[in-house]
Amino acid sequence: MANHWPIVPLGMLLRRIKDEIETKLGRVVSITWNPFGRGWFFERGERHYDVTYVDRSGATIATACKTSYYTGVYWAEGPRISEPPPRLMSRHLCAKCGYALNTEWRACPNCGQATELA
């Protein structure tokens, strides 16, 4: 009995990786086949790629992934989905009542004390 492996068009695998990046992560810079990528020895029918992309925050990310005819895209380090930067809490307190102040306020909303922040 012969093994019948489907001949996978290279363009389909590259397009799958590109679509994954552009819909979830950012903009593709390069996708390069790496025949000896991490975990290649025991994998059958999967291709490994080194991928470089620019995420939504503008950072350049270099990582590795694998894909095949039957599977999706699996990232070596897991997907790096861009998250908005955390919002910082105001450290300014009203001198009169201790209420936390926004730097844009001209007066404390709790007691009416004028601020020097704005």
pLDDT on residue 17 = 92
pLDDT on residue 4 = 46
pLDDT on residue 28 = 94
Tokens of 47: 């291709």
pLDDT on residue 1 = 46
Q: What is the DSSP string of 8-40?
A: --HHHHHHHHHHHHHHHTEEEEEEEE-TT-TT-
pLDDT on residue 71 = 81
Low-confidence ranges of the chain (pLDDT < 70): 1-9, 39-43, 78-91, 117-118
67 CB-contact burial (10 Å; exposed 0-12 / middle 13-18 / buried 19+): buried
